């Protein structure tokens, strides 16, 4: 077992419309979802099929809100080139990214819910970006991505997780032994069992592409992969 790790979080709200200037309650609701999902206290974990039940993990990673910044911008969408992370581009620089998870909440555009930087990238752009209407569970939200799972998914990437299907064909690995092979993303709310690559897909994993209401677990193997980057001497050990 591992000691519980608590990751402090800065949230940078960058808004053009007043709706995009999301409330403190909306931010708090997202921190709550992160804690529930990573500690497996999410109320929908009872939907995990028996086949996968003993692989479901309490990652022993939790989150606490360290602070919020709010910045008005004339810009209406930010894309995925990290401009929101640079004050020189009208964005907001990350605060102490070696020691804090930075989350920028701003309109990305192009139908993109969120994106993340994997461990090992430049500290100047380290963290995750999520659109305001996909952040948290109350306030300015857009179904079916209104249960805070976009941030759970992006923080999974930030802690080194790949998509469950390995972004390729059946044998393309996500480097996690207990997540079954798949050759595609799943969308919507797939019924169980959904079978590709001669085994049942773990469609209810946070690292698939299903609707928020239909993802409710990390696996033990994913936990080990995330915990590895938090170990002393590893890449995110200062968090």
Report the residue from 75, 85, 153, 236 that binds ligand ARG according to the rule CB under 6 A: 153
Indicate the residue among 115 and 118 with the shorter CB distance to ligand ARG.
115
The token duo for 1 is 């077992």
Which residue is closest to ligand ARG by CB? 150
Q: Which helix (H) or strand (E) holds 64?
A: strand 61-72
CB of 52 to Ca ion, least distance (A): 12
Given a contact cutoff of 8 angstroms between Cβ atoms, the answer to whether 170 and 162 are in contact is no
Question: What's CA 92's distance to the chain center, in Å?
Answer: 20
Is 154 one of the annotated active-site residues of the chain?
yes
In the list 5, 11, 56, 176, the residue contacting Ca ion (rule: CB under 5 A) is 176
The three-state (H, E, C) secondary structure of 114-142, written as one string: EEECCCCCCHHHCCEEECHHHCCCCCCCC
Q: Is 113 in the site for ligand ARG (CB under 6 A)?
A: yes
Where are the alpha helices (H) located in 76-216, listed in sequence order? 149-158
82 binds, among ligand ARG, Ca ion, none (CB under 5 to 8 A by kind): none
Residue 207, interface with Ca ion (CB under 5 A)?
no
CB of 96 closer than 8 Å to CB of 238: no
Is position 179 an interface residue for Ca ion (rule: CB under 5 A)? yes
Which one of Ca ion, ligand ARG, none interacts with residue 179, CB within 5 to 8 A by kind?
Answer: Ca ion
Instruction: Pick one of 119, 211, 220, 235: the residue that binds ligand ARG (CB under 6 A).
Output: 211
Instruction: Write out the catalytic residue numbers.
Output: 154
């Amino acid at each position: 077992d591992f000691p519980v790790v608590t990751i402090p979080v800065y949230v940078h709200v960058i808004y053009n419309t007043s709706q995009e200037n999301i409330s403190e309650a909306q931010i708090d609701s997202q921190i709550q979802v992160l804690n529930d999902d990573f500690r497996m206290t999410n109320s929908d974990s009872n939907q995990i099929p028996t086949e996968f039940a003993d692989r479901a993990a309490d990652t022993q990673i939790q989150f606490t809100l360290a602070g919020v910044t709010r910045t008005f911008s004339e810009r209406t969408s930010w894309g995925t080139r990290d401009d929101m992370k640079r004050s020189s581009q009208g964005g907001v620089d990350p605060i102490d990214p070696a020691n804090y998870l930075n989350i920028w909440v701003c309109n990305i555009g192009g139908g993109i819910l969120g994106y993340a930087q994997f461990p090992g990238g430049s500290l100047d752009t380290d963290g995750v970006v999520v659109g305001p209407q996909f952040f948290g569970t109350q306030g300015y939200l857009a179904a079916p991505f209104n249960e805070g799972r976009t941030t759970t998914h992006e923080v999974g990437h930030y802690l080194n997780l790949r998509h469950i299907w390995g972004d390729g064909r059946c044998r393309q690995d996500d480097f996690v032994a207990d997540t079954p092979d798949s050759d595609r993303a799943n969308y919507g709310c797939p019924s169980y069992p959904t079978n590709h690559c001669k085994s049942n897909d773990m469609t209810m994993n946070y690292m698939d592409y299903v609707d928020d209401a239909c993802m409710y677990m990390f696996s033990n193997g994913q936990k080990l992969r995330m915990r590895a980057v938090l170990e002393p001497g590893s890449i995110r050990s200062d968090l």
